[in-house]
Amino acid sequence: MSDNKTHFGYQTVNESEKAGKVAEVFHSVAKNYDIMNDVMSGGLHRVWKHFTINTAPLSKGGKVLDIAGGTGDLSRGWAKRVGKEGEVWLTDINSSMLSVGRDRLLNEGLILPVSLADAEKLPFPDNYFNLVSVAFGLRNMTRKDAALKEMYRVLKPGGTLLVLEFSKVFKPLEPAYDLYSFKLLPLMGKMIAKDADSYQYLAESIRMHPDQETLKQMMLDAGFDTVDYHNMTAGVVALHKGVKY
């Protein structure tokens, strides 16, 4: 067991404990995840994902890995982009989230391969995918550097990693954003999902996630040759794009 420390929200825990604690959160929120996303973001999460899907460098027949794919929003979009001749894998480390996403896609008539997969130890060969995406999942990973290196490994030369994640909001908005995150968000979690603690963690995990420039450097350190990012909604979220040459 590792004695290395990491953060779980604002708590300091052993690295060996974090995955289990994060798993408890997402087992708890899985059934209400889509509803809460709409409520928390005012529907903006759909705009952020739409932008990600439609600006990605991807062609028909491409191979895509959707990491921490949750309820399948990006996977659905990738499937439309690559067509029947393409290949899209929906993966998540959390069985409850993966089941919700798989069932939701099946109900829509979309059959995709799924895998219960740890982003730090991906069960895929080197140089396989044209595109790897992770939306609102990187911040929950224990060893983000290891996960980013795995994403780099499974990408083909010329492939792209897209990381859509909450980031550092523009300075003038910080007081209002803090009020929303630490007062209103847990209250909504309690009222809608009957789970204030999980949404308190989610708010804290956003604050502990690296800011735009720090994440850019982490992706470069993982091996990506070029990295840039695009802020959305005044920095509430950022889309990072890393290219492997």
What pLDDT, in 10s, does the model give residues 10-26?
Answer: 777 687 777 776 667 66
DSSP 66: E
- Which residues participate in the annotated binding site? 71, 92, 118-119
Average pLDDT taken over every residue of the chain? 89
pLDDT at res. 14: 83
**DSSP run (H or E) holding 164:** strand 155-166
Instruction: Give the tens place of pLDDT for each residue, 84-102.
Output: 999 999 999 988 889 989 9
5 in Cβ contact with 142 (< 8 Å):
no
Quickly state the pLDDT bin for 34 (edges 50, 70, 90). confident
List the chain domain ranges: 23-171+199-244
| Angle, vertex CA 128, rays to CA 127 and CA 130, nearest 5 | 100
Residue list for the binding site for S-adenosyl-L-methionine = 71, 92, 118-119
For 193-221, what is each residue's pLDDT tens digit? 677 777 787 778 888 899 999 999 999 99
Give 102-149 pLDDT, tens digit per residue.
Answer: 999 999 999 999 999 999 999 999 999 999 999 999 998 989 999 999
- Are the C-beta atoms of residues 96 and 72 closer than 8 Å to each other? no
Beta sheet of 237-243, edge-to-edge order: 114-116, 87-92, 63-67, 129-135, 155-166, 237-243, 226-232
**Tokens encoding 101:** 């996403």
How far is the CA of 171 from the CAs of 119, 178, 213, in angstroms? 32, 11, 15
What CATH homologous superfamily does 23-171+199-244 map to? Vaccinia Virus protein VP39 (3.40.50.150)
